[in-house]
Amino acid sequence: MKDLRLDRFLADRVNLMAASEIRELLKITEGRKVISLAGGLPDPQTFPKDELKGIINKILSENGDRALQYSPTKGIGELRSELTNFLNCRGVPINNSDDIIVTSGSQQALHIIALTLINPRDYVVMELPSYLGAINAFRLSEPNFVGIPLDDDGMNVDILEARLRRLYGEGKTVKLVYTIPIAHNPAGVTMSLQRRKHLIELSEKYDFIIVEDDPYSSFTYEPSDTTSLKSLDRSNRVIYLSTLSKILAPGLRIGWIAASKEMVDVFERCKQSLDLHTSTFAQFISLEAIKSGVVKSVIERAKVIYKRKKDIMLEALEKYLVPGCWWSKPVGGLFIMLRLPREDLNTSKMLFEAIDAGVAYVPGGSFYVDGSGANTMRLNFSFPKEEDISEGIRILSSVVRNHL
């Protein structure tokens, strides 16, 4: 077969499509005896397989003709109504199911936001670090990223204010601020209520949109205030995203956006051309799983499992890691961020050595839009088995020692 030289045919935007470092990693580790602290996968123990069997049988026998058919782009009405109740119970006030659009995971929601709201060179604020999937989705629209550091109280909103003032002084306007305020991925921190209120005030003063991404608020391990930005919003400028991926099953690919009806209508137009609609069958399954209390019981079970695994990882870090390393003490979510003692250490370069030694992680650099973070890594504690967490950290520590 002759070589086609495919690069001659590729659109320029392919260059903007960074291969997800996590997905590439999962490929490398496939079939090898490696303890993976890399992905963000839920523990399969939390999947309610028996309950889902019953739900699927019921759907197919009672409602199979609808569940296997095409359905509205916005999502089936029953699921949007159920999500309205679900969100109201979570403290995210939604008046009308028309303010919700069901998406194929919240990853698609991020893509829809990139396509409908971001023009090339628009200023888009991201936390340092931020969720890699959001960075990659937004990058396709060629924004100017502005990175704002995080600390234990979430995004440093005072620094954001100073940056906004400076940008506006230069005649530039910020279009959108993306944040994961509760149980951040990858930092594990929650934004303080005072900062959440301050962020809302800034959004009004400087006229930008806030994208509030909330996959993890069900997994907080310490009593914390989870007041949503959406509930503080007085001017319809918060776009709220969430997903069933971590609280039911990611394979179903069910996420959603809650925003003003006007915005949701634009998102609907965009989604029409992306995939017509989210899997009807998966929507029916999700509807039943929420209605029958299965999602609630997954949350309760998973929260106990994840808290225990987090504690095991924190203990192992304390036991094995060399002095000078810093790691986050997550108040929620599924991740711990680790920083090595020296700026010149590069966790990307260290990765292959780590995989050969038997452990994988995600190098932290790709979570930072300003190119920093090369000496950090993200460690996941939800997926590995309890007995592997400590061993994985022991191996990791010996790899780190080789570089000091």
Site residues (CB under 6 A) for ligand PLP?
A: 40, 105-107, 131, 133, 180, 185, 213, 215, 243, 245, 250, 255
For 49-93, list the strands marked E by DSSP.
none
d(CA 107, CA 111): 6
Give the three-state DSSP class for 256: strand
Q: To the nearest whole angstrom, how small is the minimum distance from the Cβ of residue 257 to ligand PLP?
A: 11
d(CA 299, CA 46): 8
Q: To the nearest whole angstrom, how small is the minimum distance from the Cβ of residue 86 to ligand PLP?
A: 15
Q: To the nearest whole angstrom, how small is the minimum distance from the Cβ of residue 2 to ligand PLP?
A: 39
Nearer to ligand PLP, 101 or 164 (CB): 101
Q: To the nearest whole angstrom, how small is the minimum distance from the Cβ of residue 5 to ligand PLP?
A: 34
Nearer to ligand PLP, 211 or 395 (CB): 211
d(CA 241, CA 181): 12
249: alpha, beta or left, given left = phi > 0 and alpha = psi -120 to 50? beta
Q: Pairing state of beta strands 154-155 and 144-151?
A: antiparallel
d(CA 328, CA 345): 18
Nearer to ligand PLP, 242 or 347 (CB): 242
- Ranked by CB distance to ligand PLP, the top (closest) residue is 105
Q: To the nearest whole angstrom, how small is the minimum distance from the Cβ of residue 255 to ligand PLP?
A: 4
Query: Which residues, at least 6 apart from 230, have a Cβ–Cβ distance to it below 8 Å?
Result: 92, 93, 212, 238, 240, 258
* Residue 378 bridge partners (DSSP): 337, 362
Q: To the nearest whole angstrom, how small is the minimum distance from the Cβ of residue 217 to ligand PLP?
A: 11
Q: To the nearest whole angstrom, how small is the minimum distance from the Cβ of residue 168 to ligand PLP?
A: 28
Nearer to ligand PLP, 327 or 335 (CB): 335
Nearer to ligand PLP, 25 or 180 (CB): 180
Nearer to ligand PLP, 40 or 358 (CB): 40
Angle at 128 between CA 123 and CA 133, to 5 degrees: 75
d(CA 46, CA 246): 9
Q: To the nearest whole angstrom, how small is the minimum distance from the Cβ of residue 404 to ligand PLP?
A: 31
Nearer to ligand PLP, 55 or 180 (CB): 180
Nearer to ligand PLP, 255 or 358 (CB): 255
**And the tokens for 244?**
């069933």
Secondary element (H or E) of residue 400: helix 386-402
Q: How many CA atoms lie within 13 A of 339 on its CB side?
A: 14
The closest of 385, 392, 222 to 319, measured between CA atoms, is 392
